[in-house]
Amino acid sequence: MLNKGMVESVNVIGLTGGVGAGKSLVLSILRTKYNAEVIEADKVAHELMLPGEDGYLRVKETFGETILNPDGTINRTALGKVIFENESAREQVNSIIHPLVWKRIRQKISASQAGLIVVEFAIMGEEAEDIYDEMWYVHAFEEVRIRRLSENRGYTKERSEQIIRSQASEQEFVRRCDRIIENNGSVADLENQLAEILKTGDR
């Protein structure tokens, strides 16, 4: 997984974790305290669905005009309905967008002048592991995640549990990552943990 040669002297961290684990808080700390450049895979995917982008053109070619708004942009509700109701369609969209996302992320890393780059993503995928110096897993106990989802997003316990079950298991995250970031306590606890990691340069 570690491949320092591809990114030369730049430290590239892959950051992942389940819903409610607190990835956004970790990103905020890394951005504000360590001047990290943050690249979020979901936002890159959204960029690729804008008119004229490769993702937009290929999705439009695959699904036709029925998924477009009157102004030509993609109607995400209409596309979401197609994907939700048809597993084959969902796989088609993923096969189109995912490779383009990681291609664009590689381009962003190559163009970056930052000393620390953090790539955040929720879906584990082996195809991109060679771009990271190290992969971090943000971990929080399930009951903590459910409480956060209730407080921050208004999710019911049942909905939170359903989303958690649909994501990779804790065992899978641990198996694929190099470092576990525990996020069950206070913001200060998390900041101290990150400070210790980044102070040592053990990445």
Binding-site residues: 20-25
Backbone angles phi, psi at 120, to 5 degrees: -100, 135
Bridge partners of 137?
A: 16, 180
DSSP E strands, 37-133: 37-40, 116-120
Q: Which two three-digit tokens encode residue 1? A: 């997984």
- Tally the C-alpha atoms within 13 A of residue 94's C-alpha that lie toward its C-beta: 11
| Distance in angstroms (rounded) separating the CA atoms of residues 161 and 145 | 9
User: For residue 105, what are the contacts with CB-CB under 8 A and spacing of at least 6?
Assistant: 39, 41, 44, 119, 128, 131
Backbone angles phi, psi at 23, to 5 degrees: -60, -40
> Which helix (H) or strand (E) covers residue 70, if one does?
none
Sequence ranges of the binding site for ATP: 20-25
Which of 97, 121, 138 lies closest to 14 in space, CA to CA?
Answer: 121
